[in-house]
Structure 1
Amino acid sequence: MSIVTMNFESQFLHSNHEISIILPDKPHHISAKEYYQNQKKYKVLWLLHGTFGDHSDWLRKTNIELYACEKDLIVVMPSALNSNYSNWSRCMLGFNMYDYLIDELMPMIYNWFPASEKRKDNFIAGLSMGGRGTIKFAVNYPEKFAAAAVLSAVPVDFNNLTEQDLQKDDPFYQRLRGMVDNAGGLEKFVHSNENVWNIINSLADSRKLPRLLFACGSKDKLIYENFTVFQEHAKKIGLDAEFWTLEGYGHEWRFWDLAIQHALEFFGLSDTGQSRF
């Protein structure tokens, strides 16, 4: 595959920003002129990293380049800091990651690269924090994605969240406090696009949602309990989603490398069967 590392000044992040893009390789039996002028538009996977990560995580810690090559797939990997893929308008000069992906990154990729913007050709996936970003984008912009894979993350019911909860000395709640402040307070947060639990409840019996996959390792101490809670809730509200568990795996890259392979199968992305040679 071809790897593009791109650095550019972002309007929404108010700073230089780096992304990685995997692009399909030219097969050896096709001439360069024929291949690069064929005007083909490729399917796109928007692939999100987790807390403490960046755009390079998936490239360095999984075989995503190999899997993308087999599927003839463009993969776009942005950097999100620890933003939870939310807007942080009062952070520095502003770091509006939620708006950035939809209103800046997507238009750039669709118009500067051979990427299809058709819903049926676009997929989104992410791990941990990236999984939370994935489901947030999937339910708030269902018209943009054919399917979504949420790895080691699930929606959490924020309807009973209290100010006392927000004082907990825990990285999850520390970031959550900032997100509540961003929304203008707890009540506004609960009724915002951040409360994916409520949005799924309202859309569960409709055909608007992308196809959804939730995946978790059975020994994931951070997520597995919430995973089972949401799985039961999904049954109650009639949410059509696949829940996939691997025994013996925790919150770890060994699991995510296997999970992204399952996600590509879930998306219906078949191998091209075409050798570069």
Structure 2
Amino acid sequence: MSIATLNFESHYLKSNHEITVILPNKPRHLTAKSFYESGKKYKVLWLLHGTYGDHTDWLRRTNIELYACEKDLIVVMPSALNSNYSNWDSSMMGFGMYDYLTEELMPLIYNWFPASDKREDNFIAGLSMGGRGTIKYAVNHPERFAAAAVLSAAPVEYSKLTEEELQQDDMFTRRLRSMVDNAGGLERFIHSEENVWSIMDSLAGSGRLPKLLFACGTADTMIYENLKLFRDHAEKTGIPAEYWTLEGYGHEWRFWDLAIQKALEFFGLEDSGASPY
């Protein structure tokens, strides 16, 4: 594959920003002119990192380059800091990560690279914080993605969130508390794009949701029990989804390398027959 690292000034993030893009390689039996002038548009995977990560995580810690080559797939990997893929209007000069992906990065990729903008050719996946971002984009913008893979993350029923729960002092509650403050208070937060549990309830039975895959290791003490709670709720309310678990795996890259392979299979992406060498 070809690897492109692009640094540009982002309108929504108010700073220079780097992304990594994996692009299909020219097959050796084709001439350069015939390949690069073909006008072909490729399917796209929007691949999101987790907390403490950046645009290089998936490339450094998994075999995503190999898997993309096998599927003839463009993979777009942005950096999101620890934003939870949310808009942080009160942070510095503003850091609108939620809007950035759909309103800036997607137009950039579709117009600067040979990427298809058709819904049926676009997929989104992410791990942990990136999994939360994945489901948020999938349910708030179902017209953009054919399918989504949520790895080691689970929707939370924010409609029942209380001020008392926001006073806990762990890392995730501190970020959640900041998100609530940034939204303008608990009531506004509950009725925002962040409350994907409620949004999914409203879309149940509509046929509008992308195909959904939730993947988690059974030894993932951060996520697994929450995922079982959501699965029970989804089955009762008719939210269609597929669930994939592996015994003994926790919140770890060994699981995510396996899970992204499952996700590509779930997306229905066929092997291109292209050699990775």
Question: TM-score by structure 1 length?
Answer: 0.99
Given that residues 86 and 98 in structure 1 are in contact (C-alpha distance below 8 angstroms), is that contact kept between their aligned partners in structure 2?
Answer: yes
Q: Which deviations, in whole Å up to 9, do the C-alpha atoms of 1:172-227 show, x marking residues without a partner? A: 11110111011110011011110000000000111100000000000001001101
Partner SS for 2:51: coil
Is the counterpart of residue 257 in structure 1 residue 257 in structure 2?
Answer: yes
Q: What is the rounded CA distance, in whole Å, between the counterparts of 1:63 and 1:251 in structure 2?
A: 18
**Unaligned 5+ runs, structure 2:** none
- The residue number in structure 2 matching 1:6 is 6
Partner SS for 1:159: helix
Q: Which amino acid aligns with 2:211?
A: R
Q: Which amino acid aligns with 1:150?
A: V
Matched ranges for 1:177-196 at <5 A: 177-196=177-196
Q: Which deviations, in whole Å up to 9, do the C-alpha atoms of 1:15-38 show, x marking residues without a partner? A: 000100000000111000110000
Q: Point out 4+ residue stretches in structure 1 off by more than 2 angstroms.
A: 274-277
- The residue number in structure 2 matching 1:226 is 226
Partner SS for 2:116: coil
**Unaligned 5+ runs, structure 1:** none
Q: What is the rounded CA distance, in whole Å, between the counterparts of 2:74 and 2:230 in structure 1?
A: 31
Q: What is the rounded CA distance, in whole Å, between the counterparts of 2:204 and 2:128 in structure 1?
A: 22
- The residue number in structure 1 matching 2:82 is 82
Q: What is the rounded CA distance, in whole Å, between the counterparts of 2:143 and 2:120 in structure 1?
A: 9
Identity of aligned residues (%): 73
- The residue number in structure 1 matching 2:164 is 164
Q: What is the rounded CA distance, in whole Å, between the counterparts of 1:276 and 1:266 in structure 2?
A: 21
Q: Which amino acid aligns with 1:129?
A: M
Q: What is the rounded CA distance, in whole Å, between the counterparts of 2:247 and 2:276 in structure 1?
A: 36
Query: 1:274 Cα deviation (Å)?
Result: 3.3
RMSD: 0.8
Matched ranges for 1:136-155 at <5 A: 136-155=136-155
Q: What is the rounded CA distance, in whole Å, between the counterparts of 2:178 and 2:133 in structure 1?
A: 16
- The residue number in structure 1 matching 2:24 is 24
Question: TM-score by structure 2 length?
Answer: 0.99
Q: Which deviations, in whole Å up to 9, do the C-alpha atoms of 1:42-98 show, x marking residues without a partner? A: 000000000000000000000000000000000000000000000000100000000
- The residue number in structure 2 matching 1:53 is 53
Query: 1:275 Cα deviation (Å)?
Result: 3.4
Partner SS for 2:160: coil
Q: Which amino acid aligns with 1:118?
A: K
Query: 1:276 Cα deviation (Å)?
Result: 6.5
Q: What is the rounded CA distance, in whole Å, between the counterparts of 1:131 and 1:37 in structure 2?
A: 36
Given that residues 28 and 276 in structure 1 are in contact (C-alpha distance below 8 angstroms), is that contact kept between their aligned partners in structure 2?
Answer: no
Q: What is the rounded CA distance, in whole Å, between the counterparts of 1:204 and 1:262 in structure 2?
A: 24
Q: What is the rounded CA distance, in whole Å, between the counterparts of 1:21 and 1:218 in structure 2?
A: 31
Given that residues 29 and 276 in structure 1 are in contact (C-alpha distance below 8 angstroms), is that contact kept between their aligned partners in structure 2?
Answer: no
